[in-house]
Each structure stands twice: as C-alpha cells, then as structure tokens.
Structure 1
Amino acid sequence: MSLTGAAKPSSYGSIVKDDLSIIDDNEAVPDYDDFSDGGSAAWLTVFGAFLALFCSFGQMNAFGTFQSWYTTHQLHDLHPSTIAWIGSVQLWVFFFSGGFIGRVFDMYGPRMIMALGTAIYVSSMMLTSVARDYSHYLAAQGILSGLGVGMLFYPPLASISTHFRKYRATALGIAMAGSGIGGTVYPILLQYLFVNVGFAWGVRVSAIICFVMCTTATFTVTSGVTPQAPAKENMSWLDLRALKDPKFALLVVGSCFMSLGLFTPFCYLVSYASDHGVPSGTAFYVLAVLNAASVLGRVAPAHFADAFGRFTLLVPCAFLAGLSTVLLWPAADSLFALVAYAAFYGVFSGAFNALIVPCIAQISDIREIGMRIGLLYSIISFPSLVGNPAAGALLHVGHGSYTGLILLSGTSVMVGSGFMLLSKLKINSDIFARV
C-alpha cells in the first residue's frame, strides 16, 4: 500500500508515522496494519522477554544490594559515591548501547543479538565473582555487564512491538514486569547467598540462573516483521534525523530529566535505611519492596494505557514518582515509612519504565522501531551516568544529609514529566485527550 495516500489513523495505537512526509513517494512500503495481537509466536515472545528482563534488568535494579555490600566489604575503603560509579557505568553502557543494538535489530532480528548478549552477560558475572579491586569491578560489572543487559533488553521489547498494536502496552507491561519481579527477588537472593555461601559463589549461582533463563529467552523471542537493511542514506548507526520529529524530541528531553533522578532511590535507599537505624540485615528488604511495587506499576498502568492512552498515563505517573520522592522520602524516618515510600515510588517509577517504549512505538514507523527505542536510550545514557554519582557528591557535601540527593532526584523527575506533557500536546492539543 502507499502510505502517502493514506489517511492518518484514528487510533492512538497506530504504528505508522504521523508525519508521512519523511517517506519517499516512490518507496514501496509493506502493510503493517495487520497485527496478530496474539498467537503462540507473539505470547512466546512476551514470555521470553519476561525471562530476559527478569535476570538482566531485574538484577541491575538490585545494584543497591551490591552497593551496600561493597561499602562494608571489598571496597570499604572507598566513598559510596565512588562505588556508585560501578552502577552508573553499568547503567550508561546499557543505555548508550541501545542505539547500536536497535539498528542491528532492525537489520537482523533478535536472536543473534540475544545469544551474544547471554554469553557476554554470564561472562561478566563470572569475572565479577573473581574481581579483586575497584578497576576489576568497574570493568566486569560496569562495562561488560551493562553491554550484556542491553543486548538482552532492547531486542525482546522491540520484538513485542512488532507482534502487537491494540494490546501493545499490555504485552510490554507484562514483559517489563519481569524486571520488577527480578528486582524483588535478587536483593533477597543475593543477600542470602552472600551471607551463606560467600560473595564469589553467590554471584556464580546467579550467573547459572541467568544462563538458563536467557538461553530459553533467546529461543522463544521472535520478530513479527522481516528484518531488512536500511537504505544507503540511512546507514548511520545513530540516525539523529528522528529528533526532527518534535513529538519524539520532547519525549527524549523529558526522558533525559527523568533518568537523571529516577534511579537514585534504587541505589541509595538501602544505605539511607541503614543510616536511619534500620538493621543492615533488614534494610535490603526496602529495595525488594520498591521493586515488588514496580511490578504493579509495570502491569496495571500499561493495561489501562491501551484503553485510555499511553501518553495520558505516562505523564501523571512520571510526575507522581517525582512528587513522592520530594514529599515522602524526607519524612521516612522509620522502617514503616520507608516501606510506604518505596511502595509508592515503585508503582509510579515502574509505570514510566513500562510506558516509555509503547509511547515511542506509537509515534514511530514500525520499520525504525528498534532504532528509535535505542536512540532514546543512547541519549539518556549520559544523564543516567552522572545521576547517582551526583547524588553521592551531594551526600558528601551535605556531610551525610540526604536532603540534596532527594531534591535532585525528585525535581528532575517532575521536570521530565513536564516535557512529556508537551510531547503529548504535540500529538493532540487537548490536554484531556486520550493519547
């Protein structure tokens, strides 16, 4: 069919570009209107994505457990802000690799990337188990692990987007719940293993679990469209022309502010709990509660977003995540208050993680979905890199006071929600429209 002669789709769930001027009049474009929105291949892809995110992004969400352990064991002579660079580098490599991984996905599909990603990720954990100094942890758990997580994160999510349209947010939310459940299980599992079998064997047991689950995911995730090489004029690894689309550009800017503060609670909440009188053997449960609540945030808003609009739910959820940090975290001076904040923040931060990909897909050509998802994550890798160390620096400047850290985290997330609102208004100027 010729997209140049087609009317703009009425559904907010369309995967066809709103700005059809970017498509060459003479270019033959396949018809992507017929999505299965179900079937064995589609749901096996969701299942595989769930497994991959459980042990990759889920374990990365549990870095607070590593941060707390390193502070009192292997790296006890280093300041927490220095140790936080391990998690920040991991996050940066994971995000920055998205642009390149997304382009390879569009050309070759998910399987090759995920197989290599499994090998890299498992190897990174084995190397972490034998690391001896800070540089070893930075290389193995920071750089190598971040790359492996990226290769196990972007291909399955992009694949789901090629199988679903009407129920895309729901399917992606189920898959993203894997990272929330992983983030719930891993703090408890790792703490138990570190205490009972030692750090080295604890990490190795985790590596074995990840090998089994990621291998299964590699064989179950498939793409719903035939991969194809881009035209010669579009061969760049990071196609920045996508930023000429104001809807996408505003979404990227909002995500940059979000990523500056979004991950700070994941990194510092355990230390905060310990510093406020919560026993160290109990403090890590706060992180588990945060990640458990994010499971609800990944599934419920994503399900309702298919009915009420993806941007319609993304904006308030992002704002409430920031607001809860500014209002509830400073008042959390007991275990009960900390758990309440962790649960509230987990729900709304989880909603952002679940809804951002369907929002990208909604305003993108399906043939470029891998590239656009990856491009956004590549750009937000830079604020993600400096977010946790900047929070740690504020903690140091404040002589142990968490006030500056909390304000940076909460306000940056709320500012990000404002730019996402502007992106929504670019799609439909009615602020109450279901977009």
Structure 2
Amino acid sequence: MPEKAESLRSLTVRDDWQSYAEEAPKTDSAYPDGGWRAWLTVAGAFLALVCTFGQLSSFGTFQSWYSEHQLQDLPPSTISWIGALQLFIFFFSGGFIGRIFDAYGPRVLMIPGTAILVFSSMVTSICNQYYQYILAQGILFGLGVGMLFYPSLAAISTHFDKYRATALGIAAAGSGVGGVVYPIMLQRLFISCGFGWGVRISGFICLAVCALACCTVTSRPGLARTSGPWFDLSHFRDDKFVLLIAGSVLISLGLFIPNFYIVTYAVDHGVDPSTAFYVLAVLNAGSILGRVAPAVLGDVCGRFNILAPSVFFAGLATLVFWPLAHSTTAVMLYAALYGFFSGAFNALIVPCIAQVSPIAQLGARMGLLYSALAFPSLAGGPAAGALLRAAHGSYIGMIALSGATVVAGSLLYVWARVRIDPRPLARV
C-alpha cells in the first residue's frame, strides 16, 4: 500500500507538472509584452495618431483661418460645428469599428480608413461653401480618423499587459507630435502656398505616413476572433465600466474646448495672429509629455490612480489659470499646463478600459465608450461658442463650462477606482 500510494502521488505530481508545463506557455505567450512585432505595432500606431488625432486636435488652426477667410461671415459657434462634427463622427464610429476589429483585426479597417482620410483632405482643399466643409472635413475626416485610431490602439492592447499603459502612452504621444507639427505647418503652408495646396500637401503626407502605419500595425498572432452582437447590453452590467463611461462623457463635454478656442482667445487678448497659432502647438507639445509620463507612472502606480488626479488638475488649471491668462506668456504657460494634464486622459483611458474588460471584448468596449463620447463632444464646441456670443465676447462662461465638466468627470473616475479596490494605497 505505501508503494502504491507513493506511485499515485508521483503520478499526480507528474500530471500536475505536465499540466502546468502545457498551460504556462499559453499564459506567458498570451501577452508577449515585447518583441519586434509588438513594438512595430506601437511605432505604426504612433504614426497613425500623428496624422489622425494630431490633426483632429489642431482644428483650432482651421477655426481661426475660416473665421478670417472663407467663412468670415459666419459666427465662431457655427464654424465650430465642423470641428464638433469631426469629433462626433470619430467617437460615434467607435462602436462599429471596435466590433469589426474584434472580428477581423486592424488592417481591414486601416487601409480603407487611409483612403477616406486622404480623400477628405483633397475634397476639403477645393471647398468654398459651409455645407461642403461639413461633409468633407466634418463627416469624411472624422470617419477616416476613427478607422485608423481605434484599430491601432486596440492592436497594441493585444500585445501588452504589464507594460500596456507605457506602450499606449508612447503611441498616444503621436497625437501630441501631430498636434505640434500641424498647426505650424498648416499656417505656413496656407500663407506660402495658399489654403488649397496647403491642405493637399497635408493629405499627401498623410498618405505616406498612414500607409506605413498600415504595414506595421498587427494584432497578436493566434488571437481568437470573436463574433457577437453589434450592441451588447451586458457591458452595462459592469458598474466599473459604466462609471468609466459616465466620467468620460462629462470630461469630453469640456476637454476639447481649449483646443477649439485657445487660438481665438489669444488673438482677442492681444497676441499677434502670426504668433497665436503657436499657442495650440504649445498645448499639444505639453500633451506629448502628458501622454508618456503618466502612462509610465500608471504601469507602476496603477492606471486609475494616475488618470483621476491628472484629469482633475486639467479641469482645475482651466478654472484657475485660463481666466488669468491675459498676456502671451501667460497663455503659453496655461496651454502647456493644460496640455500636460489633459494628455493623460488620451493616454490612460484605453488601458483603464482594458483593465476592467475581458481581452476578447476590448475592441467592442473601447468602441462603446468612445461612441458614448460622441454626443457631448458634438455639443461642447458649439455650446462654448454660444456662451461666448451670449456673453458678448467674454470667455468666462465658456471657461467655466470646460473646467467644471472635466473636474466632475474626474470625480466619477475616483468612484470607479474605489469600486475596483477601496484601499487608498492599492495599485489600481
């Protein structure tokens, strides 16, 4: 009997070890957290975001140009509908794009997305009527951005787990780089080449850069593709995910108002128009560091632990410092500060979605959250313009709207963090 018991014990140990040996590679290989394929995906996503979200966050350049040239007879609140519609289409398309990504991967979306983005630029270059800008620069451009933005970031999340926030932060820095380059480049092209050729040159640059992104962005090999309903209500049973959506909805109502109006604000407060375009570049330059540093800290200290205070300070900076910025230096300092803290939202929101989601549903949940942001993003710019007009040129109401909604959204992030783990020092 002792010999039989020992034999059974040895067999059990061997079976357990064999089972562990079979399962361990699967667990380890699920998230390689590195390798040439993973880092090429990060590099490709960086390039995609330079041309997509980088341009999207630079709409203030077009807003200021249109108000002095093609659309000078229209009020700022009407012109801002072009940029607001870009954001709406970009965000709203996320639900459908995320679902397609889960089923087919990134390239089936990114290749046609590149074609739509470039076509949008070419059509915008020959527009001269408001409705034409709405169709070409508002709807088409927003759709093209979505078809490149979501697959790029979702693909990164399939390669990384431990260093997911860092990888996504590096990629998200591409939007900051684009936000620095595009306002300066477009302004100089508009002056030297004219508006039409300036936008066309921008389109050709997008074609080259996004083609390279399409070649380098891939999902993790062997990832199981899921096929589910286009709209799954079961996601809303997760209270942490619902709180993340609710906070993001409030934040998106005010987050992009500075991007739309900081250039106009600078000009109205005595900054030379040729210099005012650099204010938006400074804001986006601040967001480069704001996308990388908080992301690295998020992998060390917890993503929710960094996201919530960063967004809170973005709103606080708007409420406290923007109303006091009456000189070129003060406006530049506010822009840099706001860019840094608001950049954390763009870098950490996707890692936080992934943290509370099954990996097979990441694309769908990411798209669902961004789709929910479509409506406040559509309302934010025009609402700010309406407040500006109602106050006869005073920016105080617009600033209050921007700052208060961002601060309120950050408090809901704190609530979501507490629901995950109520311990104050927990790494969440």
- TM normalised by structure 1 equals 0.91
CA distance in 1, matches of 2:212, 2:221: 21
Output aligned runs, 1:20-59, within 5 Å. 34-59=30-55
Deviations along 1:393-419, whole A, 9 cap, x unmatched?
A: 000000000000000000000000010
Aligned to 1:181, which of 167, 177, 182? Answer: 177
Residue 216 (1) aligns with residue 209 (2): no
1:387 matched residue in structure 2: 380
Output aligned runs, 1:267-346, within 5 Å. 267-346=260-339
CA distance in 2, matches of 1:155, 1:225: 15
CA distance in 1, matches of 2:148, 2:306: 27
Max Rg structure: 2
Residue 255 (1) aligns with residue 248 (2): yes
1:104 matched residue in structure 2: 100
Q: 1:137 to 1:283 in 2, by over 3 A?
A: same
SS at match of 1:48: helix
Output aligned runs, 1:34-433, within 5 Å. 34-226=30-222, 228=224, 230-231=226-227, 234-235=228-229, 237-433=230-426
CA distance in 1, matches of 2:74, 2:233: 39
Deviations along 1:77-108, whole A, 9 cap, x unmatched?
A: 00000000000000000000001000000000
CA distance in 1, matches of 2:424, 2:194: 54
Q: Is there any run of 5+ residues in structure 2 with no aligned partner, and where?
A: 1-25
Q: CA deviation at 1:433?
A: 1.9
Q: 1:425 to 1:319 in 2, by over 3 A?
A: same
How many residue pairs align between the two structures? 403
Q: 1:32 to 1:264 in 2, by over 3 A?
A: farther
Q: 1:294 to 1:192 in 2, by over 3 A?
A: same
Q: Which amino acid aligns with 1:167?
A: Y
CA distance in 2, matches of 1:92, 1:48: 25
Q: CA deviation at 1:243?
A: 1.4
CA distance in 1, matches of 2:372, 2:425: 29
Q: CA deviation at 1:304?
A: 1.0
Report which of the two has the higher share of helix.
Answer: 2
Q: Which amino acid aligns with 2:106?
A: P
Q: Which amino acid aligns with 1:205?
A: I
Q: Is there any run of 5+ residues in structure 1 with no aligned partner, and where?
A: 1-29
Q: CA deviation at 1:33?
A: 6.7
CA distance in 2, matches of 1:327, 1:147: 35
Deviations along 1:320-344, whole A, 9 cap, x unmatched?
A: 0000000000000000000110010
SS at match of 2:323: coil
Q: CA RMSD in A?
A: 1.1
CA distance in 2, matches of 1:184, 1:227: 36
Deviations along 1:210-268, whole A, 9 cap, x unmatched?
A: 0000000001000015465545xx32x23232111000000000000000000000000
Query: In the alignment, is the contact (CA less than 8 A) between 1:109 and 1:227 conserved in 2?
Result: no
CA distance in 1, matches of 2:337, 2:285: 11
CA distance in 1, matches of 2:222, 2:106: 11
